[in-house]
Chains A and B, each alone.
Chain A
Amino acid sequence: MKTKKWKASKELIRLFQTVGRASLIYDIQDSHSGNMALLWTEKKGDKKIVITSTGSQKGDLEPNQICFLSASETDFGYYKASSETDIHARILTSKDVYASMHCHTKDLVIATLDDEKKPNKPAPFVPIDPLGYYFLGGLVPVDWFKVPSGSPEMIRTIPERLSNHPVTVVQAHGAFSRGRTLKEAFFLLCIANNSGYIVRLANKLGINVKGLRNKIQSDPDSFFTYPPAKYLIEEEKPCDFPEEEEITREFFKAGARIFESRLSPFHTGSLSIRGVKTMLYAPMASMPREIGGPLREIPLSLDKSDSPELQIHKKIYAKSNFQTVIHCYVPEAEALSYFTNPGETEPVDRIVPVDAEGSFLYLVIPVVPQKFDFDELVRLLHDYKVVTVRGGGIWGVGTQSISEVLHHPSSLREICLYRIGALEQGLDLKKMEPKKAKRW
Chain B
Amino acid sequence: MNHPSFFGHHSKILNIDLSKNLIQSKSLDPAIVEDYLGGRGLATRIFYDEINPECDPLAEDNVLVIATSLLIGTRAPTACRGHMVFKSPLTGLIGSSNCGGTWANVFKSSGYDVLVIKGKAAEPVTIDICPDEVKIISAKHLWGLDVHDTTKKLSTKSEAGKRPSILCIGPAGENLVLISSVMNDKNRAYGRAGSGAVFGSKNLKSIRVSGKKKIQIKDSERFQSGRDQALYLMKAAPITKRLLRELGTSGLLKLINIIDMLPHKNFQDNLHKEKDLEKISGETLRKKILERAGGCFGCPIACQRHTRTGDKNGEGPEYETIVMTGLDCGIYNLEAITNANYCCNELGVDTISFGGTLACAMELFEKGFLSTKETEGAELRFGNAKILREMVKLTAYRKGIGDKLAEGSFRLASFFKHPEFSMTVKKLEIPAYDPRTSFTQALGYMTSPTGACHLRGGYAVSLAFFGGTREIPRFSLLQSPIAIRNMQNLGIIQDSLGICRFTGFAFPTEPWSRMASGVTGMDFSTSRLEEIANRVATLERIFNLEAGMNPEDDTLPDRFSTEPVLVEGKEKLLQKKVIKRMRNDYYEVRGWDVFGIPSQTLLKTLKIKGRKK
Give chain A's interface residues, CB within 8 Å of chain B: 241, 244, 246-247, 250, 273-278, 280, 320-321, 323, 360, 363, 378-379, 382-383, 385, 398-401, 403-404, 406-407, 436, 439
Find out whether the CB atom of A401 lies under 8 angstroms from the CB atom of B472. yes
Q: Please give the distance in Å from A254's CB to the nearest CB on chain B.
A: 11
Contact A276/B481 with A247-B473, A321-B530, A401-B472 known, Cβ cut-off 8 Å: yes
Question: Across the interface, which residues of A come within 8 angstroms of B476, CB to CB?
Answer: 244, 246-247
Question: Across the interface, which residues of B come within 8 angstroms of A379, CB to CB?
Answer: 525, 527
Question: Across the interface, which residues of A come within 8 angstroms of B485, CB to CB?
Answer: 321
A-B contact pairs, 17 of them (CB 8 A): A244-B477, A246-B475, A275-B482, A321-B489, A360-B236, A363-B510, A363-B514, A379-B525, A383-B513, A383-B525, A385-B510, A399-B470, A399-B490, A401-B472, A403-B469, A406-B469, A436-B228
Find out whether the CB atom of B469 lies under 8 angstroms from the CB atom of A401. yes
Closest to B486 in A: A399
- Measured between alpha carbons, how far is A404 from B469 in the docked complex, in Å? 4
Q: Mark B584-605, 1 if CB is under 8 A from A, else 0.
A: 0100110000000000000000
Find out whether the CB atom of B527 lies under 8 angstroms from the CB atom of A400. no
- Measured between alpha carbons, how far is A363 from B476 in the docked complex, in Å? 33
Q: Is B340 an interface residue (CB 8 A)?
A: no
Q: Please give the distance in Å from B280's CB to the nearest CB on chain A.
A: 31
Closest to B231 in A: A360
Question: Across the interface, which residues of B come within 8 angstroms of A250, CB to CB?
Answer: 473
Question: Across the interface, which residues of A come within 8 angstroms of B245, CB to CB?
Answer: none
Taking a contact as CB atoms closer than 8 A, the residue among B229, B469, B483 that contacts A360 in the complex is B229
Question: Across the interface, which residues of B come within 8 angstroms of A274, CB to CB?
Answer: 482
Closest to A246 in B: B473
- Measured between alpha carbons, how far is A363 from B474 in the docked complex, in Å? 32
Q: Is B221 an interface residue (CB 8 A)?
A: yes
Find out whether the CB atom of B225 lies under 8 angstroms from the CB atom of A436. yes
Closest to B485 in A: A321
Greatest chain B CB density within 10 A among A379, A382, A406 is at A382
Contact A383/B588 with A244-B478, A400-B472, A404-B470 known, Cβ cut-off 8 Å: no
Contact A321/B229 with A246-B473, A383-B525 known, Cβ cut-off 8 Å: no
Q: Is B419 an interface residue (CB 8 A)?
A: no
Q: Mark B195-229, 1 if CB is under 8 A from A, else 0.
A: 00000000000000000000000000110010011
List 8 A-B pairs, minimum CB-CB distance, nearest first: A246-B473, A436-B225, A382-B527, A275-B478, A276-B585, A400-B470, A404-B469, A382-B526
Find out whether the CB atom of A401 lies under 8 angstroms from the CB atom of B463. yes
Contact A363/B527 with A274-B482, A383-B513, A404-B470 known, Cβ cut-off 8 Å: no
Taking a contact as CB atoms closer than 8 A, the residue among B469, B479, B510, B513 that contacts A323 in the complex is B479
Find out whether the CB atom of B527 lies under 8 angstroms from the CB atom of A378. yes
Q: Please give the distance in Å from A422's CB to the nearest CB on chain B.
A: 21
Question: Across the interface, which residues of A come within 8 angstroms of B222, CB to CB?
Answer: 439
Contact A246/B474 with A273-B479, A382-B527 known, Cβ cut-off 8 Å: yes
Q: Is B430 an interface residue (CB 8 A)?
A: no
Find out whether the CB atom of B477 lies under 8 angstroms from the CB atom of A401. no
Contact A403/B471 with A321-B486, A323-B479, A360-B229 known, Cβ cut-off 8 Å: yes
Find out whether the CB atom of A382 lies under 8 angstroms from the CB atom of B471. no
Question: Across the interface, which residues of B come within 8 angstroms of A277, CB to CB?
Answer: 588
Contact A247/B479 with A382-B525, A382-B526 known, Cβ cut-off 8 Å: yes
Contact A276/B473 with A379-B525, A382-B526 known, Cβ cut-off 8 Å: no
Closest to B473 in A: A246
Find out whether the CB atom of B469 lies under 8 angstroms from the CB atom of A407. yes
- Measured between alpha carbons, how far is A403 from B471 in the docked complex, in Å? 7
Question: Across the interface, which residues of B come within 8 angstroms of A439, CB to CB?
Answer: 221-222
Find out whether the CB atom of A276 lies under 8 angstroms from the CB atom of B588. yes
Give chain B's interface residues, CB within 8 Å of chain A: 221-222, 225, 228-229, 232-233, 236, 463, 467, 469-479, 481-483, 485-487, 489-490, 508, 510, 513-514, 525-527, 530, 534, 585, 588-589
Q: Please give the distance in Å from A397's CB to the nearest CB on chain B.
A: 10
- Measured between alpha carbons, how far is A10 from B475 in the docked complex, in Å? 34
Closest to B533 in A: A321
Question: Across the interface, which residues of B come within 8 angstroms of A323, CB to CB?
Answer: 479, 482-483, 486
- Measured between alpha carbons, how far is A323 from B479 in the docked complex, in Å? 8
Find out whether the CB atom of A400 lies under 8 angstroms from the CB atom of B530. no
Closest to A319 in B: B527
Find out whether the CB atom of B467 lies under 8 angstroms from the CB atom of A400. yes
Find out whether the CB atom of A320 lies under 8 angstroms from the CB atom of B474. no
Interface residue SS majority, chain B: helix
Find out whether the CB atom of B473 lies under 8 angstroms from the CB atom of A400. no
Q: Please give the distance in Å from B149's CB to the nearest CB on chain A.
A: 45
- Measured between alpha carbons, how far is A274 from B480 in the docked complex, in Å? 10
Question: Across the interface, which residues of B come within 8 angstroms of A385, CB to CB?
Answer: 510
Q: Please give the distance in Å from A138's CB to the nearest CB on chain B.
A: 39
Question: Across the interface, which residues of A come within 8 angstroms of B479, CB to CB?
Answer: 247, 273, 275, 323
Q: Please give the distance in Å from B148's CB to the nearest CB on chain A.
A: 41
Contact A273/B478 with A323-B486, A382-B525 known, Cβ cut-off 8 Å: yes
6 new A-B contacts, CB < 8 A, other than A247-B479, A360-B233, are: A247-B476, A323-B482, A379-B525, A379-B527, A400-B471, A403-B470
Question: Across the interface, which residues of B come within 8 angstroms of A406, CB to CB?
Answer: 469
Question: Across the interface, which residues of A come within 8 angstroms of B471, CB to CB?
Answer: 400-401, 403
Closest to A274 in B: B482
- Measured between alpha carbons, how far is A247 from B526 in the docked complex, in Å? 26
Q: Please give the distance in Å from A191's CB to the nearest CB on chain B.
A: 29
Contact A401/B225 with A274-B482, A275-B482, A382-B527 known, Cβ cut-off 8 Å: no
Find out whether the CB atom of B487 lies under 8 angstroms from the CB atom of A400. yes
Find out whether the CB atom of B463 lies under 8 angstroms from the CB atom of A400. yes
Greatest chain B CB density within 10 A among A320, A382, A400, A406 is at A400
- Measured between alpha carbons, how far is A252 from B171 in the docked complex, in Å? 57
Question: Across the interface, which residues of B come within 8 angstroms of A275, CB to CB?
Answer: 478-479, 481-482, 585
Find out whether the CB atom of A400 lies under 8 angstroms from the CB atom of B483. yes
Closest to B230 in A: A360
- Measured between alpha carbons, how far is A276 from B584 in the docked complex, in Å? 10
Question: Across the interface, which residues of B come within 8 angstroms of A241, CB to CB?
Answer: 478
Question: Across the interface, which residues of B come within 8 angstroms of A383, CB to CB?
Answer: 510, 513, 525-527
Closest to B219 in A: A439
Taking a contact as CB atoms closer than 8 A, the residue among A320, A363, A401 that contacts B530 in the complex is A320
Find out whether the CB atom of A320 lies under 8 angstroms from the CB atom of B482. no
Taking a contact as CB atoms closer than 8 A, the residue among A363, A399, A436 that contacts B508 in the complex is A399
Closest to B225 in A: A436
Closest to B487 in A: A400
Question: Across the interface, which residues of A come within 8 angstroms of B588, CB to CB?
Answer: 276-277
Greatest chain A CB density within 10 A among B469, B487, B508, B530 is at B469
Greatest chain B CB density within 10 A among A280, A321, A436 is at A321
- Measured between alpha carbons, how far is A360 from B225 in the docked complex, in Å? 10
- Measured between alpha carbons, how far is A70 from B142 in the docked complex, in Å? 101
Q: Please give the distance in Å from B218's CB to the nearest CB on chain A.
A: 13
Question: Across the interface, which residues of B come within 8 angstroms of A400, CB to CB?
Answer: 463, 467, 470-472, 483, 486-487
- Measured between alpha carbons, how far is A360 from B585 in the docked complex, in Å? 36
Q: Please give the distance in Å from A261's CB to the nearest CB on chain B.
A: 15
Q: Please give the distance in Å from A155's CB to the nearest CB on chain B.
A: 51
- Measured between alpha carbons, how far is A195 from B516 in the docked complex, in Å? 43
- Measured between alpha carbons, how far is A244 from B477 in the docked complex, in Å? 8
Question: Across the interface, which residues of A come within 8 angstroms of B534, CB to CB?
Answer: 321
Find out whether the CB atom of B486 lies under 8 angstroms from the CB atom of A247. no
- Measured between alpha carbons, how far is A160 from B106 in the docked complex, in Å? 82
- Measured between alpha carbons, how far is A241 from B477 in the docked complex, in Å? 11
Closest to A279 in B: B478
- Measured between alpha carbons, how far is A403 from B472 in the docked complex, in Å? 8
Closest to A384 in B: B510
Question: Across the interface, which residues of A come within 8 angstroms of B225, CB to CB?
Answer: 363, 436
Q: Please give the distance in Å from A2's CB to the nearest CB on chain B.
A: 51
- Measured between alpha carbons, how far is A275 from B479 in the docked complex, in Å? 6
- Measured between alpha carbons, how far is A123 from B471 in the docked complex, in Å? 50
- Measured between alpha carbons, how far is A274 from B483 in the docked complex, in Å? 10
Question: Across the interface, which residues of B come within 8 angstroms of A244, CB to CB?
Answer: 473, 476-478
Q: Please give the distance in Å from A247's CB to the nearest CB on chain B.
A: 5
Question: Across the interface, which residues of B come within 8 angstroms of A246, CB to CB?
Answer: 473-476
Question: Across the interface, which residues of B come within 8 angstroms of A436, CB to CB?
Answer: 221, 225, 228
